[in-house]
Structure 1
Amino acid sequence: MKTTIQEIKNNSIINMSKKCLQMAIVLLLSFTSIQAQDKKAKDLLNEVTSKIKSYDNIAIDFKYSLNNSKENINQDSKGNVVMKGNQYVLNFMGVTKIFDGQKTYTIVPEDEEVTISKVNEKDDTAITPSKMLTFFNSGYKFNMDIVQNVKGRKIQYIKLAPTNAKDQRKEILLGIDVQTKHIYNLIETGKNGTKTTLTVNSFKTNQPLSKNQFTFVASKYPKYYINKLD
């Protein structure tokens, strides 16, 4: 049965925040122990790893795009994320997610609701920075791809192809700024023709952070319904 345009849009909206968080974390933290099939790709990713590890914290502003020309879908959104260690604060599509290292707080102003949940380390679908550290450890073939000049910046792409035939992703491209060793973008192409792209518009490091940067303060949301899942 052919998937309708509305079904694709609905599924995209539901999964967009989750995918965006995953992609943002992958951009920053997924290169620690990659099993390389391509020495040049391995060397470049190792340089990215060393650079990321040298920062106390990282703050990025990004653009997220979802496109499927066959189904006439074209959606763009913006967001930002601040990360330190395994803690983060993500703002995307009007929703704020805070992870303090133990619990995730999802704040939805439109519904005046806060959902609190613990991280289940046994849940393979749970998106946490620690799990993103081993994201590419297995299940992918990767190699150096094309080089592009983007507004004077030399961007080297690394192509990753899932080895599992059941994976719905056809390939993933990581764009790396050769000079700064920072990630410029991530492009994920699905077997159904859907392409999702995360582009880093601003990359800042070692920013002055509030002591409550990754702490949920309930008094800020006096009228919100607190939904504790655990």
Structure 2
Amino acid sequence: MSKTIFKMKRLLPIIALFFISITIQAQNSQKARNLLDEVSAKVKSYDNISIDFKYSLTNPKENLNQESKGNVIMQGNKYVLNFMGVTKIYDGKKIYNIVPEDEEISISKFDENEEDAVTPSKMLTFFNHGFKYSWDILQNVRGRKIQYVKLVPTSSKDDRKEIYLGIDVQTKHIYNLMEVGKNGSKTTITVNSFKTNQPLSKNQFTFAESKYPNYYINKLD
């Protein structure tokens, strides 16, 4: 047997394993993409969504440990968000930031088509573009099966190293989101309550200036 043939016989199993590995990675990536598509479709199928959530931010290097709770009501792109003592209302045209501690309200226009525009509704579908996907671990959380998908930003300018999205296998709702920053920070948002198609007031997303008679109103544009 020649040395060339011998070397080829040794290399063939390695080459086969390599291509099998590539195939498995592609299949896992497609599984992850399919699950995320199901999540997006579920979100879009609801008339409105109400969420109570817990937020935590840690960074051992900077001795940072912060926790807070919040809630948001969304209908299409409109929303009312209460978080860290601030209420933010988006009525489809303008954003109203209401800060009771300072008795101040800022009003600004919002262009939904801007690439960097962020809204609570986009937070439920942010993963549709700009990431590589892979199938991650399955956890049992108080009787619920939570499947994790790992997302890695494709842009080197992104400050996030990786993101883990936990999805309830049965409901296809997002259970939690964990962002790991390149600076060592870790941000976690956990959904405590996820309600859909709730009865909402006609004025749910309307800012009423009369409710804030002593507030300073700052119209930014």
**TM range, smaller chain:** 0.7 to 0.9
Q: Of 110, 116, 128, which residue of structure 2 is paired with 1:119?
A: 110
4+ aligned runs moved over 2 Å, structure 1: 120-126, 128-139
Find the counterpart in structure 2 of residue 106 from structure 1.
97
* Structure 1: gaps (5+ residues): 1-35
| Superposition deviation, residue 50 in structure 1 | 2.3
| Superposition deviation, residue 136 in structure 1 | 3.5
Length, aligned pairs only: 195
Find the counterpart in structure 2 of residue 95 from structure 1.
86
Find the counterpart in structure 2 of residue 78 from structure 1.
69
Q: Of 38, 41, 45, which residue of structure 1 is paired with 2:32?
A: 41
Distance in 2 between residues matched to 1:44 and 1:199, nearest whole Å: 19
* Structure 2: gaps (5+ residues): 1-26
Cα pair distance change 1:182/1:84, threshold 3 Å: same
Distance in 2 between residues matched to 1:200 and 1:132, nearest whole Å: 12
1:159 alignment partner AA: K
TM-score, normalized by length of structure 1?
0.79
Find the counterpart in structure 2 of residue 173 from structure 1.
164
| Superposition deviation, residue 152 in structure 1 | 1.0
Q: Of 170, 177, 193, which residue of structure 2 is paired with 1:202?
A: 193
| Superposition deviation, residue 42 in structure 1 | 1.9
Find the counterpart in structure 2 of residue 50 from structure 1.
41
SS in 1 for 2:61: coil
Find the counterpart in structure 2 of residue 12 from structure 1.
none
8 Å CA contact retained: 1:186, 1:198: yes
Find the counterpart in structure 2 of residue 224 from structure 1.
215
Matched, 1:160 2:151: yes
8 Å CA contact retained: 2:162, 2:179: yes
SS in 1 for 2:206: coil
Distance in 1 between residues matched to 2:98 and 2:69, nearest whole Å: 17
1:93 alignment partner AA: M
Cα pair distance change 1:50/1:64, threshold 3 Å: same
Percent identical residues: 74
The structure whose Rg is larger is: 2
Distance in 2 between residues matched to 1:183 and 1:52, nearest whole Å: 10
Q: Deviations over 1:94-118 (max 9, x none)?
A: 1000000000000000111110000
Coordinate RMSD, CA, aligned: 2.0
